Amino acid sequence: MRLLTLGIVGVLCIAMVNLATAQGKPAHTYQKGTITGYEQRLLNKNRKTRVYELKGTDHIYQVDRCGAFQAGKFDAGQSVDYRVSGDRLYILRNGDEEYGCKIEGEKAIEGATTGESTPK
């Protein structure tokens, strides 16, 4: 009985430490971007996908497979808050939800410092 009690206390302590650590995580930093359009691409013989272009301040990203958000469609000219982590681009929706998109392509905007430059 004593061993079981110690085990339960140990698990609860670990859970409390994990909870405290999770609450102390810094908030993500998002950038402003604009959906500039999309193109239809064939994933395989029977499946098409829309690859959206997102223009950020210093890069243009081509993204797809954005889950439920993509199913609702992006609109050309739509402003979004986004962040990049590895090969994924996360779009903030409704203030606290993120939709992870697969980055299919990326190019730097030459001379971009204010986000007003155009690609060359």
| Domains of the chain: total | 1
CA distance 94 to 98: 9
Q: Does the pTM exceed 0.85?
A: no
Per-residue pLDDT of the chain (120 residues; tens, 9 = 90+): 565 554 455 545 455 545 444 455 558 899 999 999 988 888 777 888 888 999 999 999 999 888 766 655 678 899 999 999 999 999 988 888 888 999 999 999 887 664 433 333
- 62 in a domain, yes or no? yes
- 1 in a domain, yes or no? no
- Give the chain's end-to-end CA distance (angstroms, integer): 72
Range of the structural domain that residue 90 is part of: 31-108
- 57 in a domain, yes or no? yes
| DSSP string across 7-60 | HHHHHHHHHHHHHHHHHTSPPPP-EEEEEEEEEEEEEETTEEEEEEEEE-SSEE
Closest C-alpha among 32, 36, 51, 37 to residue 101:
51
- 84 in a domain, yes or no? yes
- 73 in a domain, yes or no? yes
- 23 in a domain, yes or no? no
- 89 in a domain, yes or no? yes
What pLDDT shows up at residue 120? 33
What pLDDT shows up at residue 3? 57
- 41 in a domain, yes or no? yes
Distance of CA 33 to the CA centre of its chain: 12
